Amino acid sequence: MEFVRILLSTSLLILMFRGLSQTDIFFFLVPVLFQTLCGFAHLFDKERLFRFWIGMRPVVAFYKPETVEVVLSSSKIIDKSTEYSLLRPWLGSGLLTSSRNKWKTRRKMLTPAFHFRILDDFMPIFNEQSQILVNKLKQAQDCKWLDISNFVTLCTLDAICESAMGIKIHAQSNKESPYVKALYEVGEMFMSRMMRPWLWPMMFFSLSSYGRRFHKSLADLHNFTRWVIRNRKTQILNSQQTNKDDLGSNENGVIRLKRHQAFLDLLINHHLKDPTLTLEDIREEVDTFMFEGHDTTAMAISWTLYLIGWNRTIQQKIQNELDTIFGDDSTRPITLEDIKQMKYLECALKEGLRLFPSVPFIGRMLQEDIVVNGYTIPQGTTCFLFTFMLHRNPEVFPNPEIFDPDRFLPENVAGRHPYAYVPFSAGPRNCIGQKFAMMEEKVLIANILRNFNLTSLDPRDKIHLIAEMVIRPKQGLRMRITPRW
C-alpha cells in the first residue's frame, strides 16, 4: 500500500512538472522542502529531535534549547557541515568556512575589528545610507505598494561595502553597477547549485550553464575585491611614509575611517607586520564579511518592518519612543547614545529575528561521538540546528506565531534558557558581527519609522518562505508607506 502511495505521488509530481522550466520547478520545490522539514519538526515535537538522510549521510535535527546547547557550547564541535564547502570557491577558507586551528587564529585576529569603539565609527555610514533609503522611499510613496526588501537590500549593500572595504558602490543609485550585478549573479547561481545535488561535484557544476555563469561573475567579484585591497595597501604604505593621519577620499570613492582601524585596515596592517597573512587571505575575509553582513541584515530589517506594518499598536509604540528621542526632527543623525535609548525598538527587532531568523538553520559536523538525550550520535553525523523551529518552542514562547515584542522586555527574558534564542548562533563560533548588525538594523528601522507609517498588505499565511542561506519570502514583502509629517 505504501509503495502505491509513493508511486501515485511521484506520478502526480511528474504531471505537475510537465511543461515547467527548471526555474519553475526550483521555485515550487524550495518552499515545499522547507515546509516538509517544519512538518517533521512538529511530528517529533515531544523530544524535538529527529534523524533524516541526505544520500548516505546521516543528519540529526536539534531544536530544543538543551540539545542545541550541547552542540553550540562545545569547543570541539566547531567544524561546519559539508554544505558549507560549496561556499569555498566564493569565500575560500575564511572565517565562515574554515575549521579548527585556522578558524581559531582568524577569529582571534579579527575580533578587534568589531570592538564597540570601532563600530561607533560606522554610525555616519549607517546614517548616510539610511537617509538615501528614506529619500528613495519618498520617491516611491505614491505607489500602491512596494517590495520593502528590495529597497533595504540595496541600502545594506551600500553600508557593508563602505564599512568593510571603505569604498562607495552607490547600489541604491545604480543597482545595475557591475559589482552589484556580479554579487547577485554569484548568489543566485550558488543557490541553484545548492538545491541541485547532482551539481555538488565541482566537475559537473563547472560544465553546467549555472557553473559557467557562476565562475564568470565570481571572477569579476574577486577581481574587484583584489583591486580595492591593493589600492588600500598602497595608501597605507604611502601614509606611513608621509606620516599622514587622514587620507580623505579619492576620485574612486576609496575612503579611510579616521580614528580607528576599520575591517580592511586591520587586515592590511596585520599583513604588513606578518606576510603569512597574504592579500588573498584578506580577500577571503573581506568577501566573507560582504556575504555574511549584507543579505542577513537586509532580511532581518525587512521582516521586522513587515511585522511592524501588521500591528498598528506596536508601530505607534515604537514611533512614540522615537519621538521622545528625536521630537519632530526626522533628519537628525542618530548617535550611539540614541541607539541605547531605543529599548522597545530593540525588543521588536529581536522578536522579528525570533519569528524569522535570517539564518534558519546551522550545520555542524561531528568529529567524535556525542550523547544527547540518551542517544549516541556517531562521528560523521551532520548536526542540523533548526533555529526556525527552536524559536517556536511553545514551552519557551507561548503562542509562538504571535508577534509580541514584550517577550524581550528584561523581566520576561530573565530565567529564559540562553540557547532558546540564537539568531546569531551562540557559543565559541557565534556571529562575530552581531553588534555591527544590530546597530545597523536599529538605525535603518528608526529612520524609516521616523518618516513613514507602514502598512503590510499580505497576511502571514499568504507569505511562502524560501529557506536558502537566508530565509526570504518567495513573492517579496508588499507594503504601503505614507509620510508621517
- Residues 6 or more apart whose CB falls under 8 angstroms from that of 442 comprise 334, 339, 342, 345, 346, 349
Residue 439 in contact with residue 338, Cβ under 8 Å?
no
DSSP state of 198: G
Give the count of beta carbons closer than 10 Å to the beta carbon of residue 74: 17
The DSSP 8-state label assigned to residue 75 in this structure reads: S
Give how far Cα 193 sits from Cα of 20, 211, 464, Å: 19, 8, 21
Residue 172, judged by CB atoms within 10 A of its CB (0-12, 13-18, 19+), counts as buried
Q: Select from 253, 257, 261 the least CA-distant residue to 227.
A: 253
Question: pLDDT at position 195, please?
Answer: 80
**CATH number given to 25-483:** 1.10.630.10
- HSE of 19, CA atoms in CB hemisphere, 13 A: 2
Question: How many of the other CB atoms lie within 10 Å of CB of 315?
Answer: 19
Sorted by sequence, the CB contacts under 8 Å of residue 420 that are 6+ apart come out as 65, 390, 391, 393, 396, 397
Whole-angstrom Cα distance, residue 247 to residue 134? 30
Judged on CB neighbours under 10 Å (0-12, 13-18, 19+), 482 is exposed
Q: Which DSSP helix (H) or strand (E) runs through 240?
A: helix 209-242
Cα gap 440→157, rounded to integer Å:
12
Report how far residue 185's alpha carbon sits from residue 209's, in angstroms, rounded to the nearest whole number.
Answer: 12
User: Do the beta carbons of residue 41 and residue 64 sit within 8 Å?
Assistant: no
d(CA 419, CA 425): 9
Residue 258: DSSP 8-state: S
Q: Residue 455: is it exposed, middle or buried by C-beta count within 10 angstroms (0-12/13-18/19+)?
A: middle
In the structure grid, which three cell numbers stand for residue 410, read together? 528584561
- Residue-wise DSSP of 363-404: EEE-SS-EEETTEEE-TTPEEEE-HHHHTT-TTTSSSTTS--
Instruction: Please report the sign of the dihedral spanned by the C-alpha atoms of residue 326, residue 138, residue 472, residue 83.
Output: negative
Q: CA dihedral defined by 200, 201, 207, 209, rounded to 10 degrees?
A: 0
The pLDDT tens digits along the chain (485 residues) read 333 333 333 343 343 444 444 444 444 455 677 888 888 888 888 888 999 888 888 999 999 999 999 999 999 999 998 888 889 999 998 888 888 888 888 888 888 777 777 778 889 999 999 999 999 999 998 889 999 999 999 999 999 998 888 888 899 988 778 888 898 899 889 888 888 889 999 999 999 999 999 999 999 999 999 999 999 999 888 877 666 555 454 444 444 444 445 688 888 988 999 888 999 999 999 999 888 888 899 999 999 999 999 999 999 999 999 999 999 898 999 999 999 999 999 999 999 999 999 999 999 999 999 999 889 999 999 999 999 999 999 999 999 999 999 999 999 999 999 999 999 999 999 999 999 999 999 999 999 999 999 999 999 988 988 877 788 898 889 999 999 87
Q: How far apart are CA 477 and CA 462, in angstroms?
A: 11
Q: Where are the beta strands (DSSP E) in 29-162?
A: 49-54, 57-62, 146-147
Reported as type and span, the H/E element at residue 483 is strand 478-483
Q: Which residues contact 293 (CB under 8 A, 6 or more apart)?
A: 156, 160, 163, 164, 433, 436, 437
Q: Are 374 and 70 in contact (CB under 8 A)?
A: no
> Residue length, the chain?
485
Distance CA 443, CA 332 (A): 12
Say how far residue 29 (Cα) sits from the centre of its chain: 22
Q: Which residues are registered as beta bridge partners of 456?
A: 479
Question: From the CA atom positions of the chain, what is the Rg in Å?
Answer: 23
Distance CA 274, CA 280 (A): 14
The sheet carrying 452-456 orders its strands as 146-147, 478-483, 452-456
Domain parsing of the chain, residue ranges: 25-483
Tally Cβ neighbours within 10 Å of residue 423: 23
Q: What is the end-to-end Cα distance of the chain in Å, rounded?
A: 65
